[in-house]
Amino acid sequence: MNPDQLEIVCWDEKWKDLLGRRDVSNFTDPDNIRYYRAFNGVVNKVTGPAYSACEFGCGSGTHLIYARDLFERLYFVDGSPNALLYAEFLLSMPGGSKKGSFIKDNVLDSKLESDLFYFTFNSGVIEHYSEEDIFRILQNMRRVSKPGGKVLVAWPNLLSIASVYLRLTGHSLTTERYYRPKKIRNITLEAGLSGIQSYNFPIVWPPGFSQNFYARTSGIERMLANMGMGFLHILSAEKVGRTK
pLDDT by residue for the chain (244 residues), tens only, comes to: 455 666 677 889 999 999 999 999 999 999 999 999 999 999 999 999 999 999 999 999 999 999 999 999 999 999 999 999 999 999 998 766 678 999 999 999 999 999 999 999 999 999 999 999 999 999 999 999 999 999 999 999 999 999 998 888 877 666 789 999 999 999 999 999 999 999 999 999 999 988 899 999 999 999 999 999 999 999 999 999 877 6
Calpha distance 75→96 (Å, rounded): 15
Instruction: Please tell me the predicted confidence (pLDDT) of residue 114.
Output: 98
Helix/strand/coil percent split, the chain, to 5: 45, 20, 35
Instruction: Please tell me the predicted confidence (pLDDT) of residue 95.
Output: 67
Would you say 152 and 185 are in contact if contact means Cβ atoms under 8 Å apart? no
Calpha distance 144→111 (Å, rounded): 10
Would you say 233 and 148 are in contact if contact means Cβ atoms under 8 Å apart? no
Q: Any idea where the domains of the chain sit in the sequence? A: 3-238
CATH H superfamily, domain 3-238: Vaccinia Virus protein VP39 (3.40.50.150)
Instruction: Please tell me the predicted confidence (pLDDT) of residue 52.
Output: 97
pTM: 0.93
| Type of residue at 152 | L
Instruction: Please tell me the predicted confidence (pLDDT) of residue 176.
Output: 87
Euclidean distance between the first and the last CA atom of the chain, given in angstroms as a whole number: 33
